[in-house]
Homo-oligomer: A and B are copies of this chain.
Amino acid sequence: MKELSKLMGYRSDVKVVDATLRDGGLVNNFYFKDEFVKELYKTNIRAGVDYMEFGYKASAEMFDENKFGKWKFCHDDDIREIVGENESELKIAVMADVGRCDYKKDIIERKDSPIDLVRVATYLNTIPAAVDMIENIAAKGYEVSCNIMAISNAQESDVKNALETLSQTPVDVFYIVDSFGSLYPEQIARIADLYMDFAVKYGKKVGMHAHNNQQLAFANTIEAVGDGVDWLDATYGGMGRGAGNCQMELLLGFLRNPKYSIYPVIQFVEKYIRELKEEGVVWGYDIPYLMTSLTNQHPRTAIQFIKDNRTDYTEFYKEVFSQE
């Protein structure tokens, strides 16, 4: 059992990553107002957040820049528009999806970029491609994490192989990603142990990215930190795809390191997150997400259900369970 007394202490290696623009961008196609992004940046600095993820480095050849807000592409100039020379402790992150990022061209040398960390997102079957990306991006001077998605329906032996492979690369952090919000804390404990085995052996860190399909995003995140996981993703108001993510306000209320401050988070939520909600941007736990989660599916059908203003949960139940 974890020691209750540790709740009073803290591990200074813990890093909080604000993923609001990136995972939240999946909700509103990355159309955030500049004021929102600037205030979020300032708020993260005041709150003591360690990394702010601005969005994706998506391929402009694959995605039409007129059909998405700019944070799907995260041009260095757009980031500089917000952060200037970023004279703060807050580091800047972007996500790069395997197969959807022209990383050789679009990710320049770190010394010329405002970006500090690139998070390489991959499924298990594209680990070899992820390795190429990690090596290329690390050689340019960036910190790199590898976010292995959708592990809740993966074979444990495949996850082990992936971790073994990634251990040989310059990647800094292995991320546990519960894409379908399907995992219970007990399972997180077990997965964290597996990831930690490789991390300790090869000098890496482990991160946690949770989804709230069963109202467990926060619970799974604090389970993970108790298991030695250092990198914790959260978003303001839990904004994120479908049921959303671990809420920043809950997480900073839990962490005991005095560098973190919840008050600026509350201020931001009161003004800017409420504003988004009032404009009709929808995310957060609802019954359909429980159902896709129980069946270990991508939440896309649940997102569509909510978007269609459907409320016939029982029909949806039958649809979801018959897909198995």
Contacts and interface: CB of A to CB of B under 8 A. Distances in A.
A290 B249 contact: yes
Number of copies: 2
A313 B218 contact: no
Contacts of A274: 311
A269 B185 contact: no
A270 B314 contact: yes
Interface stretch (A13-21, A111-119, A128-136, A219-227): A219-227
A2 interface: yes
Nearest to A270: B313
A193 B214 CA distance: 26
A317 interface: yes
Interface string A293-324: 01000000000000000011110010000000
A73 to B, nearest CB: 32
A294 to B, nearest CB: 5
Interface string A176-188: 0000000011110
Given A1-B190, A218-B214, A314-B266, A250 B185 contact: no
A186 B4 contact: yes
Contact of A218 (B216, B249, B250, B269): B216
A280 to B, nearest CB: 17
Interface string A256-267: 000000110011
Nearest to A317: B266
A212 B218 CA distance: 12
Contacts of A247: 215
B187 A7 contact: yes
15 contacts: A1-B186, A1-B189, A7-B186, A7-B187, A185-B222, A215-B217, A215-B218, A219-B219, A249-B290, A253-B290, A253-B294, A266-B287, A266-B313, A270-B311, A270-B313
